[in-house]
Structure 1
Amino acid sequence: MSTTSALDSFLDKWRDRWPEWEVAGRFVPADLQRTTLAWFALLQEFEDIMNISGDPLPADAKLAWWQQELRDWSGRRSRHPLGRVLEPVTAPWAQLAEALPAMQESRGQPLSMDAALAVLQPFAEAVVAVEAALFGRARPADARALAVQWLSTRMAVAGAAALPAGVELPAWRAQLLAQWPGKAALAQPHRIWSRLARLRLQREQAGQAAWAPPLQQLWHAWRAASGGA
């Protein structure tokens, strides 16, 4: 498989999970669209490591591989197709590598919302630090908003296993929504993605299909891209 084909396979996997991006992605500046897709596809790789079912050893081995790969990016050495897009950017890749064990820790049943967020906080801080470099965000970003989004993803895949004992799905969704700011202080591309993820959660909590109609997607993406609540 050529490098281009391999890259496209990772980008397409992310697009398959987020078909809303066909509409929402138009609000990302043209010069950032390729970087944005590669970055989100990379985050999806980490998400899959967190959400592994069954034997965790292959996922843990993959995590260790990614840790070394990210450290190598700091030295301008990449082996992965996503690295061909992302590694040329000077970013705190080593910080992200050191934060990846949070993916393993997040597989366990949390004691509470605060405990679950605390596990993800170092990872979320590393992600927003990388995004500051990728997308040129000078203002501080809201790592907690990103951690809440990650917990929502965990819940969507793992269901009750991602919830504290005795907490039902509607109650956990309500807690996530209460923690999730309507106007997340994130880099613009991730602000759009965060808004879409929050919209899915809101619709599920209301008993609706997760994917909103295209016009609703368009409105929420525009609001997020422009910085509106």
Structure 2
Amino acid sequence: MSESTALDNFLEKWRSRWPEWQLVQGFVPEPQRRIAVAWFALLQELADAMNIAGDPLPADAKLAWWGEELRDWARHRSRHPLGRVLEPVQAPWALLADALPALSLMRGLPQEADAALPLVAPLANAIAQVEAGLFPGARRRSALPELSAQLLFTRWMEVPPHADAPRWREALLAHWPARVGGPRPRRVLATLMRLRLQHLHADGQGSTPSKPLKLVWTTWRAAAGGS
């Protein structure tokens, strides 16, 4: 498999999980779109490593590999295909590597969302700082509670707490306003995620898709909310 094909496979894997992106990607400046998809694909790869079921050793080994890889990006060396897009951008990759242990903590979340949010705050902080490097010019950085809520939702999508789905949904939404901060790609994705959370089924298994007109309108408002 060629390097280009491997990269495209990772990008397409993320797009397949977020087909809504196709409708709203035009709200992201064209020069940022490929970087945005590569970045979100990287975050998905990290989440997938954390979500490996059963024996945690393979997941821990994969996260350790990613830590080494991200530290190499800080030295402008990369092995993973996503690094071909992301590594040349000046961003605090080593800080993200140091925050990866928070993903291991997310395998055993407390029963209360308010107790889980502090566990992912270091990772949320690292993500916010990397995004400030990837997408310069945002008027304000993502607030940590709302970004932490988004991270918890990515975990929830894979292993939902079925009995507590309505309570967790309301708890996460309480920390996740409709108008979020951060660069435009983050605001667009956060809006897509929040719509899924709002429409989450009562048993926590999947969500009702938003109507395209509402999705586009809501995302446009979020994209227009800052530089």
State the TM bucket, normalised to the shorter chain: over 0.9
Gaps spanning 5+ residues in structure 2: where? Answer: none
Aligned to 1:164: none
Any residues of structure 2 matched to 1:200-215 within 5 Å, and which? Answer: 200-204=196-200, 209-215=207-213
Alpha-carbon distance in 2 for matches of 1:63, 1:175: 28
Query: 1:135-173, CA deviations, whole angstroms, 9 ceiling, x for partnerless residues?
Result: 003533212211101111212211228xxxxx7211111
Query: 1:96-115, CA deviations, whole angstroms, 9 ceiling, x for partnerless residues?
Result: 00000101011103153232
Is 1:219 aligned with 2:217? yes
Displacement, 1:209?
A: 4.2
Query: With structure 2 as the length reference, what TM-score do the two structures score?
Result: 0.93
Alpha-carbon distance in 2 for matches of 1:15, 1:185: 23
Alpha-carbon distance in 1 for matches of 2:181, 2:139: 11
Alpha-carbon distance in 1 for matches of 2:51, 2:177: 24
Is 1:154 aligned with 2:155? yes
Any residues of structure 2 matched to 1:1-229 within 5 Å, and which? Answer: 1-136=1-136, 137=138, 139-160=140-161, 168-204=164-200, 209-227=207-225
Displacement, 1:134?
A: 0.3
Question: For structure 1, which segment, 77-86 or 204-213, has the greater mean C-alpha deviation from structure 2 after superposition?
Answer: 204-213
- Matched residue type, 2:38: A
Alpha-carbon distance in 1 for matches of 2:95, 2:87: 14
Gaps spanning 5+ residues in structure 1: where? Answer: 162-166
Displacement, 1:12?
A: 0.6
CA-based RMSD = 1.8
Query: With structure 1 as the length reference, what TM-score do the two structures score?
Result: 0.92
Preserved CA contact (<8 Å) 1:35 1:85: yes
- Matched residue type, 2:209: W
Percent same amino acid at aligned positions? Answer: 53
Preserved CA contact (<8 Å) 1:132 1:138: no
Preserved CA contact (<8 Å) 1:28 1:189: yes
